Structure formats: structure tokens, C-alpha cells
Chain A
Amino acid sequence: MISAAECAVDAQSLISISLRKIHNSRTQRGGIKLHKNLLVSYVLRNARQVYMNEKYAEIYRMQQYEEVMTVCNEIQELDPLDVVAASDECEEVGASEQQCCAGGMASEPPSLCGAQPCSSPTTPEEACKPSEPLFYRSCCAEPYPLPPSPSPCDFSPAHCNKTTVLDLDTHVVTTVENGCLHQDCCTPLQPCSSPAKKRKVSDYSCCYYAPELEDTSAEPAPCKRAKLEDCCSDCLDTANISNLISIFGSGFSGLVSRQADLEQAFNGQFCSKQALASLGAWTRAIVAF
């Protein structure tokens, strides 16, 4: 097992180092070396998974079953300033009972994702609040049919068509918009416990191997870009990531989507065909050059 103590820091630095290597390979003499970039993408994937697992472990540890509703209420009372009044920010969960709707996500597998019956079903439109959005991490292991469009979904509330799901196992709230899964770079529940730490992405000390999750780590979703700029300076190399996005010109949709079908999740085995498939955007960008 990767030692838990070094996990958090190494994962993040490895991610940024790997991205830098891929970026540098474009200007290397002799063209992009497919073998080396493939290996770098494996490191990237491993680091990303560890990073995600740690974050979920953090969430899981902080959740109690009895606090579900409390948490939801607290979410409602989130200071809007935390969410940064930008239209491309994440979507804030609405009324507590609206969070519990799992009905809209019938396609989700019940692995970790809470396909739990919702206490107060609501329509996606009701769940969609026309306020600053705050996206929550998905726990879902089902691949979502992400459209291969290079541009991320438009996060402005006016265009949203969202379904919000609360997983009662991990107590993570998920919002699905336009068929895409949006994840938070930091959880909504953290503010409840420690608002000061909400945006710190490096405060994970435990290593918890959850089933494969939609990743957020270094994914340069636009919502994250604006949010991470508020983050502490030792966060992920977001500026570099944003630049890399524009350089590559593709949306890294392959990495965002399809963390599917992961067996052996709890014994730390990362490999699965579809997790590898999520490297596609990298290789696509690599091959294109």
C-alpha cells in the first residue's frame, strides 16, 4: 500500500509534476514519446486516485448518520460569500429535503452511491437553485455518458438542468447537470465542521480507499478554477493546469468521466480497464501532437 503519511503531499506534487512532464513533452525534440507519456499518465492516474481517496476518507470520517439532516441544514446556511459570486461557481444545494433525491439518478449503481430512496422526492428543476452553485463530489461509480465536447458544461444556473443526490453512505451530495457529473474540489460538508479549511485541498491525512469515484483532483473544471484561486498557495498548480487546458485544447473529459466498474476498490488496487480508459484524453492530446 502506498504509505498514508506521504500520500497527500506526494499525490498533489506528483500530479503537477506529471502534468508538467506531459506539457514539456510537446516541445521535446523528436516528437512526443508515446511510451513515456503513457507511463506518466499512469502515475497521474495513481496519484489522482490516492488524492481522491483521501478526500473521501476525510469526508467519511467527518460524517455521522445522525448528522445527515443537520448537515443539510447547515449547507443551506452556507455563507454565499464562500461560494464566490461567480456564475461559473459550483451550485449550492437547496433545501435539505431536496438534497435527498436519488430518484433522478436511477442509473447509479448502489455500490457506494446512495441510491437510497429519497424522503422528499423532487424534480430536477426544483433541486436546481438559481443561486450560486456549489458542486458536490459524486460518489458514483457508474460511468456517466459524458459528451465528448471539449468545453465543460455551462455552469450558469440559467442553463442548468440538475438532479441532486445525497448519498446516505458517504453523505456526499451530488449534482448532475446536463448528464455531466460535477464534483467539488472541496466538500460542502467541510465548511460545516471547519470553514477555514474548506478550500484547503492538502489537509488530508488519512488514506481511505473508497471505490472509484469521479475525480476532482487536478481536473481543471472551470468552476474549480475560480474556486481554487482562492485556495491556499500550496494547492494544486491550478494556474498551470488552467494553462494546460488551453494548450491542449481538449476538455480532459476522458479523465473526468468514467471511473466505472472498479472491482477491488477496498484493497487498493487501482487498475481497471475503464479507469485506464479515462486516460484517453491524455493520449488523445498526446497523439494529436
Chain B
Amino acid sequence: MLSPVLCSELSALEPEYTEADVISAVEFSQSGEFLATGDKGGRVVIFQREPLGEYNVYSTFQSHEPEFDYLKSLEIEEKINKIRWLPQLNSAHFLLTTNDKTIKLWKVSERDKRPEGYNLKDEEGRMKDISKITSLQVPVLRPMDLLVEASLRRVFANAHAYHINSISINSDCETYLSADDLRINLWNLDITDRSFNIVDLKPENMEELSEVITVAEFHPHHCHLMAFSSSTGTTRLCDMRSRALCDQHAKLFEEAVDPANRSFFSEIISSVSDVKFSHSGRYLLTRDYLSAKVWDLNMENKPVETYQVHDYLRSKLCTLYESDCIFDKFECAWNGTDSVIMTGAYNNFFRMFDRASRRDVTLEASREVCKRRAVLRPRRVCVGRKKRESDVSVDSLDFRKKILHTAWHPTDNIIAIAASNNLYIFQDRHSHHGHHAGHRLEQDRPPQLQDAPPQ
């Protein structure tokens, strides 16, 4: 058991930032040109990729505000839980953002021209003296400094009694789903006053509650297929063609638990914290507390690959339970070619696993280690004695520094890592040489850092 000192230190945050600045969602747009982040304060910051490959701030807006539910006497947090981009149809960009209760559709558009030469108003907007107007003019559009506006287009509210944990846009680009702890609803992007309930796990008697929905996602190509994971460690694939209410699953992905490994915390560590379809649509990536698993959609009884992210924590579960760290929900990501998967860990570490070569790397995203243009060194966590100077001992891991949210560019080897209030964007060194976008990330050539300023 760890010493009590570690537990108490977990409650103290670094003084440099406030809780509201902690990033809670990271998402690349479908083309990869934009990167959106959401934080606990309800703000969204959008970065745009510059021609040279860097990402700079494009737009910032306040998406959600704290609300109060008077009926239940509950405060509704403004924390952004998920952001999802719509496919781009015209010059504007649309994205969905959600907090615990309300989903919003935002339109982000540019304005680089403005009309000048109004008849009744002058340049500052003051009314002109009518008696001084001698002729009429037609206002003309003149170039102006680029202005990026974010405007709220739709509000999808009052459809969830429980906390929304995921949203996912269908491949048909017309509908999307939103999932809370017990229900999944299907929306039309244009209709805000009604939604269809497609999954309902709420038992007749709440005393019999045994599982909750943790994540839900649409299949990338088949608009009738969706997957959702549960707190019991199972992932279900549902076909919306078979029936309106998809409580009955088409497939159930569950791996038998080895009874020899049972502990007090077996249920907690088996709870699935993220589900991602591969880009090909053939595989599912699930993340539970200690591992990441790749499932073939055609095989339900066990995953095709299991990657231990930080199995050395297995002996520390009690301490992690006391500090609430065991409830952390790590996300996971595929690269563009589905050959590498990535997920976060503690101590600002994140891990990448190459599926074909079975090689993996642990990297650190922190200000002390990351310098601009510097190549990241692989890190190692050791359980016993340090074999190398650069090794990090398990007991010295900082559990306050957790990388829960990571995102991979849809085609290029660019990754976005959120570490508390900082966003790190890394790219593969080889991309500078114009290599093919699908170039694999190799362990002996760690990615190069491109630092993005904090929000």
C-alpha cells in the first residue's frame, strides 16, 4: 500500500491555473484542418492549421454556462463533455458541443469583408444628420481583418434525465445520437424539440440497476449501426434496422474475466471508459482502466489484441480508489491508417501501440520535458529498481497529472494531447519531409513537439 502522503497530495492542484481551465474535450475536424478543445469552464477554443503545419488559435467562444435545475435543486456543470465536428458542407464549419444536459450546434464562419458606405449611419455607426445628406450611395463590400464568428444555431435540450457522456454524428450527416447513463437518443440535426429514444437501460425498479452506459458511437460507414459500452465492461453493437428500441443487441463484445484476478475493484477497472470505431469500420477500440483492447466486429467473445497501458497500477488500486483516480475516464484514439492506437496515462504520460509490430512507446507531455522542435524521448515506468536513470518509479508517479483526452489527426501523424490546462500538439518528424501521410510512427523516431500556447 502506498503511504498516506500520496493520497493527501492529490487534492492540491497546481496554483498556476484554475479548475475551469482544465481541458475536458479534444477533437480534430473531419479534414484535420481544425482542432477544437473544450474546458471545464464551458469554453471552446478552435485551432486552425497554418500552411506551415502549426496550429494557431482560430476562434474562442463560451459554449455552455452553469445552470441550475430548480426542480431537483441541482447545479448543472458547464463543463464540455464532448465535441464533435460535422462534415464540412460549405464555407462554414459546424460542431456539436455538449455538457451534462444540453447539446448545442455551433456555426463557425469567417468574415473578411464588410459593407461600407451606409447612407444613414457613419463609419462609427452613429446616425448621420439627414439634412446633410445630399446623395445616395450603394454600400460596397470592402476587405477587413478576418473575423471568425461562432453563432449558436441549435439547442437540443431537456432530453436527458441523466448526465450526457457522449455524442456521435451519423455517417448520414443528418442525425446524431446522444447518450447519458441510461438512455441513448437519436436526433435530427435540424429538429430540436424532439428525439427518438433508441436505447433504454433504466430498470423498472432502480434498485435493480446494475449497469450504466458509458460511451456510445455510430459506425463510421454504416448509418444503421451503433455501439455503446457499459460499466460492466461489455460493448454492444446495435442495428437500428431491426427494431426501434435497440435494447437487444446485435452483438455483445465481452471478454470473460479471470476469476483468479478478482479484487474489490474488479468492477471498476473493467468499466469501459471509451469506445472508438476504427476508420475502416472493421474494428472497435475499447479502453478500460488498465488496458486497451482491439475487437474485431466479427468476433465477440474476446478481443483480437489487448494492450496493457499501466498494469503496474494493479497493486495500487486501493490507493487509487481512495483518491478517486480509479474513476478517471481515459480516452483512446486510432491513427489514420488504424495501425497505431494511442491512449493517455498518469504523470502526463501517454502511450502508443503499433499493432503490427507490437511495439509500444511511452512519452511525456509536460512543459519541463517538451521544448519546441525537440524530439521526445521515450519514457519507462519501472516497478522495482531503476534500471536506467531516465526510468520513473511507480511510486513517484504524479496522479494529478493525467492525460484523459487525446486525439489523432484523421489522416496525418499529428496528435493533440490535453494535459490539465495545456494542449500539446505533436507531429511526426518525417512529415516535414513530405512523407506519405500514412507514414507509421516508429518507436526509434519519436515525434517532434510543436507547442501550442495554453488557452
**A interface with B by C-beta (< 8 Å):** 1-2, 10-11, 14, 17, 21, 29-31, 33-36, 38-39, 42-43, 46-47, 50, 254, 267-270, 273, 276-277, 279-281, 283-284, 287
Shortest CB-to-CB span from A49 to chain B, Å, is: 10
In contact, A277 and B76 (Cβ under 8 angstroms): no
Shortest CB distance A256–B (Å): 13
- With A42-B268, A43-B265, A50-B264 given, is the CB distance from A34 to B212 under 8 Å? yes
Residues of B within 8 A of A273 (CB): 210
Smallest CB gap from B205: residue in A: A280
Q: Residue on A with the closest CB to B77? A: A30
A267 touches B208 (CB 8 A): no
Interface size on B, residues (CB 8 A): 38
Contact with A along B306-337 (1 / 0, CB 8 A): 00000000000010011010010000000000
What residues of chain B have their CB less than 8 Å away from a CB belonging to chain A? Answer: 69, 72, 74-77, 79, 100, 162-163, 165, 181-182, 205-212, 214, 231, 259-260, 262-268, 271, 318, 321-322, 324, 327
B327 near A36 with CB under 8 A, answer yes
Asked whether A31 lies within 8 Å of B267 as measured between CB atoms, the reply is: no
Q: Which residues of A contact B212 (CB under 8 A)?
A: 34-35, 38
Contacts of A270 in B (CB 8 A): 262
Residues of A within 8 A of B214 (CB): 35
A283-B209 contact, Cβ under 8 Å, with A30-B74, A34-B163, A267-B259: yes
Looking at A43, A46, A254, A273, the one whose CB has the most chain B CB atoms below 10 A away is A43
A43 lies within 8 A of B209 (CB):
no
Q: Are B262 and A279 in contact (CB under 8 A)?
A: no
Considering the chains assembled together, what is the distance between the CA atoms of A68 and B400 in angstroms?
A: 56
Q: Give the nearest-CB partner of A281 in chain B.
A: B207
Q: Is the CB of A29 within 8 A of B77?
A: yes
B244 to chain A, nearest CB (A): 25
Q: In the complex, what distance in Å separates the CA atom of A181 from the CA atom of B118?
A: 85
CB-CB < 8 A to B268: which residues of A? 39, 42-43
Show 9 residue pairs from A and B whose CB-CB distance is below 8 angstroms, ordered by the A residue: A21-B324, A31-B69, A34-B182, A38-B231, A39-B271, A39-B327, A43-B321, A273-B210, A276-B208
Nearest CB to that of B182 among chain A residues?
A: A34
Q: With A10-B318, A17-B322, A30-B100 as given contacts, are A39 and B207 in contact (CB-CB < 8 Å)?
A: no
Among A11, A38, A269, A279, the one with the most B-chain Cβ atoms within 10 Å of its Cβ is: A38
Majority SS of interface residues in chain B?
loop
Given contact pairs A35-B214, A268-B259, A270-B262, a sample of 19 additional A-B residue pairs in the complex whose CB atoms are under 8 Å apart:
A1-B262, A17-B321, A17-B322, A31-B74, A31-B76, A31-B100, A31-B163, A35-B181, A38-B211, A43-B267, A46-B265, A47-B264, A254-B207, A267-B259, A277-B207, A279-B209, A280-B208, A283-B209, A287-B206
- Once the chains bind, are A2 and B264 in contact (CB under 8 Å)? yes
* Minimum distance in angstroms from B200 CB to a CB of chain A: 14
**Nearest chain B CB to A186's CB is how many angstroms away?**
23
In the assembled complex, the CB of A218 is this many whole angstroms from the nearest CB of chain B, namely 14
* A43 surroundings in chain B (CB, below 8 A): 264-265, 267-268, 321
User: B265 to nearest A CB, angstroms?
Assistant: 6
A39 to B209, CA, bound (A): 11
Determine the chain A residues whose CB is within 8 A of the CB of B231 once the complex forms.
35, 38-39
* B207 and A283 contacting across the interface, CB-CB below 8 Å: yes
Interchain CA distance A10-B265 in the complex, whole Å = 12
How far, in whole Å, are A1 and B262 apart by their CA atoms in the complex? 6
Q: Which residues of A contact B318 (CB under 8 A)?
A: 10, 14
Minimum CB distance partner of A49 in chain B: B264
**In the assembled complex, which residues on chain A have CB atoms less than 8 Å from the CB atom of B77?**
29-30
B179 to chain A, nearest CB (A): 12
Min CB distance, B199 to chain A, in Å? 15
Contacting residues, chain B, for A34 (C-beta < 8 A): 162-163, 181-182, 209, 212
Q: How far is the CB of A124 from chain B (nearest CB, A)?
A: 30
Residue of B nearest to A11 (CB): B264
Taking CB as reference atom, which chain A residue is nearest B1? A6
Give A10 to B324 CA distance when docked, in angstroms.
Answer: 16
Cβ contact of B264, chosen from A31, A46, A267, cutoff 8 A: A46
Chain B, residue nearest A278 (CB): B207
For the complex, give the distance between the alpha carbons of A33 and B214 in Å: 12
Residues of B within 8 Å of A35, CB to CB, are 163, 165, 181, 212, 214, 231, 271
Q: Which residue of B has the minimal Cβ distance to A9?
A: B1
Separation of A35 and B74 alpha carbons in the complex (Å): 17
CB distance from A79 to the nearest CB of B (A): 37
In the assembled complex, the Cα of A93 lies from the Cα of B321 at a distance in Å of 41
Question: Which residues of chain B have C-beta atoms less than 8 A from A36's C-beta?
Answer: 327
